[in-house]
Amino acid sequence: MQEVIFSWQHVVNGNGVALSVTGMSIVFVALMLVSLYIAMLPKLASLFDKIIPPAVHHCGEQAPPASSGPVEAEIVAAAVAYLQKNKS
């Protein structure tokens, strides 16, 4: 079996330094782009709110229609008052 000998000369001969610097540069630029995107999200969100109204893109739900009749709480209160008045 051959003996493995580590030498910086092997790294230099194989362009290892240039390859590692290139790789680190690519990762650094990618992380900077992600960081800038995250920093710009609030501004992008306000821009999209101007383009698409907030009521349209909230989970696809629509606002409930406004009713002119009694609210559920008023109905419950009336029922409790009736039962309290007509106790046996």
- The Cα–Cα gap between 50 and 83 comes to 51
Dihedral angle over CA of 33, 34, 35, 40, nearest 10: 90
Cα distances (Å, whole numbers) of residue 50 to 34, 40, 47, 58: 24, 16, 5, 14
Q: Answer whether residue 58 shows pLDDT above 90.
A: no
pTM: 0.48
Count CB atoms within 10 A of the CB of residue 16: 12
pLDDT tier at 60 (50, 70, 90 boundaries)? low
Q: Answer whether residue 27 shows pLDDT above 90.
A: yes
What number is the average pLDDT over the span 5-21? 87
Percentage of the chain lying above the pLDDT 70 cut: 78
